[in-house]
Structure 1
């Protein structure tokens, strides 16, 4: 008993998370929601830090409507769902008496403004460093701070899961297939043995449409591709354009827009006409009622076609920093380009090659995995010389051959090209230049100052002659040869650090105080942290320890006793896990 007390008091201690500043990795009080259209399970936050904008952080109301982060289904009613406790952390106290925290490491510390209150955040700035947040990324001494493979996996936020396809007729999968793909249940199958055959007429095969990345047939070896095109159901701040080629169509649209504005229809604020370029401009996804009104009052076929095109293209949106956890919070969205793809492949006939195109800034790199020979190469697109070349370890090759199973991960987080096979990084990361000066010079000012996203590149190409140079900047998965089943396909994004109240490290570099740390939450839009506090830094003396496991999680339940329903807590072992 004494040993347990000593262990608990001096070495280990439990802490309950109440708010969602570290969600979705670590959650506070929340409701566990299952999307009715895709079955994806996610946490819906009910308590937030006091600095969360757009919500009353102290509100006792836990009702509202959730939006699924996987398929975009909105207005999911959460009122009947019981509230779950937050994650309970087991903290190794005193570990930082023997070493200093590392960047990206979780720490539990006493709130500098209220030492009786414990916080958990992630260390982003170390003593004496000059730090700045720019375009969602962290810069140290003017250079981007990069994450290794383990940290990327720890921080990544899920965007799409093939195992949770929406049942809605209005939804489209964000991976655009071409070649020989078929959807069978929640899996994708491609048979490249007969390159002359086409699956485009198969009712189970989703339409690919035109693509700059359409596969080629190489001799007797077929090729199939999946192109990432993020498809949004509704909302958004992105801008889509559709051109009007004739004066008649332009006059038609002007008169309709003038009439609808006279009637003060609410959706007219999303729509405008660029007279100089003669294009319709739409902000966000076109609402169904807007499309119906425009089609009904159009006098020319050209305008009707342009409206239809604009409505379809408006769903192709940039990935943003939305959180399913934050459905109660009204906050601006910022475009996110740091993505990671994870694909698990099984084959009946070994593919000749598996490729992943990885866009980074204005470049594209191509990862090539040869399952038969175990060779992995990374090339700049269009170049013959590999910038990285490796052979898988013999035991890994043997496992792949025997199981006919391979998992490949590829990411572009922090201007770094990273690849892993079966949970093993294969070669050294490829780091591309990204200093503060580079980002300021090459990034449009509308994103540099945290304003709304740029015009959707895919949509801009419909309003101008020829495709935009950015229209090729997409993740692409290619299968060359073989009979391959996509057992699992997930897409993730990186954490995007928002400007918050802009007190520290946003408008200008901030120097971290000696023997202190700059800390931030993974759920940046609602996190109370060093960006927003009057006193930015956490002194080393206030560090409590390192959380290393989520333990004793539970979920609400009810039990019948003598005809009465009584609330109980049921162990939730799925939430038990180690913390990086």
Structure 2
């Protein structure tokens, strides 16, 4: 459970200062006592009826809200991420007793394994200021973070996200929340509040031979003459730049693309195959390392389970002189390290969670600036069934959405250049006045089966609902951006994913819909793999009478600090200003 504790309030006594009048000692003492009592009563009334502070101890709402955790700086890419030291799955309420077994972390940004966290000091959980009046006159809205009393132990306070509302029939399917047979969709603010970082392009290893960039410039032009006319992106340290503003006919120029490849270092349970017509005659199969490799002569394919290591690939090429086999091994190595995005959390130990689930619901965030030209730039996202092209027209100052159904076996990384100019836009809208040549923040999401487009923190049009056929294979290249006929710079590239609500180890609202009573709420944790919530409780609902309020501020968070006086070092807690924020 995400259990909360109530911090002891600090009360400061207030006395009266001297004046030109004589005041006897008994009057002064009485004034001090009255002031202290009045302040105590004021604080008591404020805590009772207005707001109260709580501290989070466990990690079921991470990364939105943190329990006891460690702040880890990845030694490879230098990004900072939280690593939990207490979870809802802990049977021992004392987190210190389980910290010793959680000494290795995996960077969620670059995938670096085996990061030693044993010597990193532990941080306290987030402290929440809760508005106890929030639900006196209205019930919680869907996706609200709420604080409530544990129905089984009313003296304990928990924090979760309200997902199912009174009278509804709720079910978890494929990571989504289904309400009364329809998917529950989040608006822009709710998507931002729940999104989880997958990759930040600003944090990449600079001295790591094992790392491969996630964003890659590509050239789809096959003809040498056409390739000579194509303008390509230039990759900088933290950005991509295109110089194509001098093109006379942008509409006749191929788009130059930068694709996202979700590259992993090692591991995985995914299957990868490449074409291989026949096994080399000089290669003894018994000498092939046992590393998940398999040759399928019937379909002329060479398979591997998980990411093929460099050591195994090198060993394979040492066993034969067959050049065709060499190329197949190289192709298999590269392809096996690019996998679908999954619901893994850097907050959780990798060995204490079940098999990861592929996630199709993504959001791209980037800062765009253009300096000239009359062309366009495009963001494409796919769920494996269709491609959704968001086209930013420089001349018209207009944003348009185009939909292109993918044929079987075709992905956005293998098909020809997008020809959205030949089709009709599903919806179009003008740019906001805040989006100028100096730059602006664009966000495009494919979350909850809808396409949402925002510029500078505000949606530019109503989200477009989309369908998702069943049994769709997750794409290996889920998003890319391109441009033509424009001088443009793309920076601050971040890719996020939505919460994937897991079904494993769940008892309620999984195999069949669960119907809520007229005063009941169904609550879920953002850290779905380890959260104990309505899916797993004996009594799955939270009655309205158990609601405490709505948290609106993460206040006074702290982090470990050291103070050295002479030869002595004092350990103390200092404010962590970066974590202070209002909650949506």
Q: Note if 1:102 corresponds to 2:135.
A: no
Match of 1:177 in 2: 217
Structure 2: give runs of 5+ residues left out of the alignment.
1-38, 219-230, 405-419
Residue correspondence of structure 1 range 45-64 to structure 2 within 5 A:
45-50=84-89, 59-61=98-100, 63-64=102-103
Match of 1:419 in 2: 453
Match of 1:342 in 2: 365
Q: How many residues align?
A: 512
| Shift in alpha-carbon separation, 1:555–1:244, aligned structure 2, 3 A | same
**2:382–2:475 contact (8 Å) kept in structure 1:** no
Q: Distance in 1 between matches of 2:397 and 2:246?
A: 25
Residue correspondence of structure 1 range 454-469 to structure 2 within 5 A:
none
Query: Cα offset for 1:565?
Result: 0.5
| Shift in alpha-carbon separation, 1:512–1:252, aligned structure 2, 3 A | farther
Residue correspondence of structure 1 range 32-111 to structure 2 within 5 A:
32-50=71-89, 59-61=98-100, 63-111=102-150
Q: Distance in 2 between matches of 1:475 and 1:374?
A: 23
Q: Distance in 2 between matches of 1:502 and 1:59?
A: 24
Query: Cα offset for 1:350?
Result: 5.2
Residue correspondence of structure 1 range 239-388 to structure 2 within 5 A:
239-246=271-278, 248-249=279-280, 255-256=284-285, 258-259=286-287, 267-268=290-291, 270-298=292-320, 300-327=322-349, 329-349=352-372, 352-381=375-404, 382=420, 384-388=423-427
Q: Distance in 2 between matches of 1:164 and 1:180?
A: 23
**Which structure has more helix as a fraction of its residues?**
1
Match of 1:163 in 2: 202
**2:383–2:475 contact (8 Å) kept in structure 1:** no
Query: Cα offset for 1:377?
Result: 1.4
**2:245–2:375 contact (8 Å) kept in structure 1:** no
Q: Which has the larger radius of gyration?
A: 2
**1:351–1:479 contact (8 Å) kept in structure 2:** no
**1:62–1:79 contact (8 Å) kept in structure 2:** no
Match of 1:213 in 2: none
Q: Note if 1:477 corresponds to 2:509.
A: no
Match of 1:190 in 2: 242
Match of 1:547 in 2: 551
Instruction: Render the CA deviation track for 1:315-368: whole Å, top value 9, x for unaligned.
Output: 110000011101253421010011110110123335632211132451212111
Instruction: Render the CA deviation track for 1:550-573: whole Å, top value 9, x for unaligned.
Output: 000111001023531011111111
Structure 1: give runs of 5+ residues left out of the alignment.
197-215, 445-453, 459-472
Length-normalised TM-score, structure 2: 0.82
Q: Distance in 2 between matches of 1:487 and 1:275?
A: 46
Match of 1:526 in 2: 530
Query: Cα offset for 1:190?
Result: 1.6
Length-normalised TM-score, structure 1: 0.83
Residue correspondence of structure 1 range 208-223 to structure 2 within 5 A:
218=251, 223=255
